[in-house]
Amino acid sequence: MAAARIASTWAGIPPVDTCTRSRRSGTTCSGRRAPDTIKACFPVSSQLNLVFDAPEPGSGEARIYEVFLAQSEDAPAASPLHQMEGNRTPFFLSHGERDFPRIIASNLLAAQALARQPSGVTSEVYPEHGHFDTALGLADPAHPWVRKVSAWLRDGAAPRRSQSNGA
């Protein structure tokens, strides 16, 4: 059995969910927090959709099923894209211009889904960045992502219904 904790330790907030994965019983989550406990979310080059039609063996999509999910039927429940209805947490989505195609596609779908929610969404595509470039740049306070997210948080965690591109 593998266990994963989805938490916001950055602000000292207890976990939102505690999820347990088992090949026998699937993935189960418990311990939901009150709405608005999480004040902002800023995934970097994240796979936000875990639902794939017949992933190619050996592909990144197939690895998601092999490593993170007890069974493929768990994908919708574990997929952030499929949990956005009624979302009130502002998101700052970002990925690199040269990121993995599945990351780009899932971020575009997430931005569209979040734009229909009361949460607000900002979406940034970083030119000339591959999948790891933005994450590696987070150590640099002058990196465009660090500057933009810092301003986004300082200014009240995302203007409502905001969407932009570019660094």
Report whether CATH 3.40.50.300 matches the domain 39-154: no
pLDDT tens-digit readout, 52-79 = 888 899 988 888 888 888 888 888 988 8
- 100-104's contacts with Cβ under 8 Å and 24+ in sequence apart are 100/45, 100/60, 100/131, 102/47, 102/49, 102/52, 102/60, 102/61, 103/45, 103/46, 103/47, 103/131
Whole-structure pTM value = 0.71
- 104 neighbors 75 (Cβ within 8 angstroms): no
- 6-12's contacts with Cβ under 8 Å and 24+ in sequence apart are 8/37, 8/38, 11/39
**Tokens 């919708």, located at residue:** 76
d(CA 70, CA 132): 27
Six token digits for residue 73:
């039927």
Domain spans, the chain: 1-33, 39-154
Mean pLDDT over 21-43 rounds to 61
d(CA 142, CA 87): 31
pLDDT tens-digit readout, 120-154 = 898 999 999 999 988 888 888 898 888 888 888 88
pLDDT tens-digit readout, 100-129 = 999 999 999 999 999 998 888 989 999 999
What's the confidence (pLDDT) of residue 104? 95
